Structure 1
């Protein structure tokens, strides 16, 4: 029995289609059929029922699928450890993070500590695009980001609500804010493509072409400036209750506006590891 035979079997069992399994594996369909036939002969059991119209797991195939997945996960762990040993990063999980994850990050890291107390951890803060490149180069093991990242394996974990920060005396400060109510203010945004796309998309939907102010470098400093003046507004992720002490008003959008929160993963990572990380940071 070969590892590749188990991989081919799992692919067909999950796709229930030899053509799709071959495409997923990046090989030709006859090779998949040949190797699964060889596996069945070696094991002495029929794993799949094949007809011209359908492929289905047999009872024996369903039982073997559980074990095959476990065996492949073990192989992937061995390969990962070997790669770590070769690169000198033994026992260190490298996680890309984004500003303002707060309780989600603390909770997820705590879960990882409980399940793998021997695991070291290195957090790397940065932008989503930089994290995606680092994962492709093998410099990060995973990353938590906001906003879609094309061409990257990802799992959507949460929806991050956006909040408007505006002067306390502004007429729209009394409740949820429609962006058309802010046409008399300048919009100040950070260098965050996901947040900018969401906000400007909402402005376009409501027919607002906002006057743009200076870029936001520090959310806290900008909130103080907004509280002290009457000309600007900005947008932040989540509640950020600490901004209330700056004197500005923090209000939800009407209707609500969100940005997706994603877990970025290596393209060839084991499914079991992806599931464990998704559960920890959901």
Structure 2
């Protein structure tokens, strides 16, 4: 299979419509249809069921979609890491570290300071990501190493070292009656009148259904909470840096969150190794 075919197939599988997929790819629909049909003939199976209103994935198609995404991520990562290796050979070495914007801020600051003090440290490019984006950024080569948070981030196929585990708190507007409680339960938090939980974007950019506001970043979220339009359950380290308009209350039955540092298992980067050593030392 060629990467071009895989890109074509992923576009159709995600759009579930040949016309929309062709527009997304910037090509005409007939060659796209021929390419998918040719791929099905060579694989000996139907990948997409065609209908008058669009297409749907078969079981085999769902498997190929998962595998094709991983393969295309690997190709993209190979290109980016090769370019960074070329820059290192040219005397401009650097390592890219991905972290979720607004999370692990204290750890990130300490990590950068500790690593910079190591012999042979190189420049660190910090890539701040939206919720759940760090693993994708790492797999596609936009970062060499990342701070991830279980159970929210997918660490499958990555090498990891656990850094610390913490409980979660709910962030409320300052002055809210529940702000003086010693703790709350998830059932109470999920049903607060006038303070719905936010809706974060899925990997495809769409938002789940629900009453909460659509939120894309930490700054937007904290402003909505301060305005009394939302609440949010976050790791306890999210307490740091809360403004006067916000309060935090422990959520006793929320799952604990483990922060890990992660990197591709085939990495041979001494800079990545140095960052991992610095993080585990902290």
Q: State the TM-score, normalized to the length of structure 1.
A: 0.52
* 1:188 corresponds to 2:188: no
Offset, 1:171: 3.9
Q: CA deviation at 1:109?
A: 1.1
- 2:159 equivalent in structure 1: 153
Distance 1:172 1:179, change over 3 A: farther
> Please, which runs of 5 or more residues in structure 2 have no aligned partner?
1-81, 203-209
Distance 1:118 1:180 in 2: 47
Kept in 1, the 8 Å contact 2:171–2:249? The answer is: yes
- Residue equivalent to 1:98: 100
Give the greater-gyration-radius structure (CA): 1
Once the two structures are superposed, the pairs formed by residues 116-135 of structure 1 within 5 Å of their partners are 116=119, 119-127=122-130, 130-135=133-138
Q: Is the 8 A contact 1:148 1:262 kept in 2?
A: no
Cα distance in 2 for residues equivalent to 1:179 and 1:117: 47
Cα deviation 1:118-177 (Å, max 9, x = unaligned): 512211112576544444444422111223332323222222442201243334642111
Change (3 A) 1:212 1:172: farther
- Counterparts of 1:189-208 in structure 2, within 5 Å, are 189=198, 191=200
Which SS does the other structure have where 1:165 is aligned? strand
Q: Is the 8 Å Cα contact of residues 220 and 243 (structure 1) preserved in structure 2?
A: no
Residue 154 of structure 1: SS of its match in structure 2? strand
Gapped regions of structure 1 (runs ≥ 5): 1-79, 194-210
8 Å contact kept, 1:244–1:250: no
Q: Does 1:174 align with 2:181?
A: yes
**Cα-to-partner distance string for 1:12-61 (whole Å, 9 max, x where unaligned):** xxxxxxxxxxxxxxxxxxxxxxxxxxxxxxxxxxxxxxxxxxxxxxxxxx
Q: Secondary structure of the residue that 1:215 maps to in structure 2?
A: coil
Contact 2:157/2:265 (<8 A) preserved: no
Alpha-carbon contact 2:213-2:230 (below 8 Å) kept: no
Task: Note the alpha carbon deviations across 1:82-124, whole angstroms, 9 max, x for none.
Answer: 9445875742122112222222111111121111355122111
1:239 and 1:177 map into 2 onto residues whose CA distance is 17
Identify the structure with the greater helix proportion: 1
Classify the secondary structure of the residue corresponding to 1:245.
Answer: coil
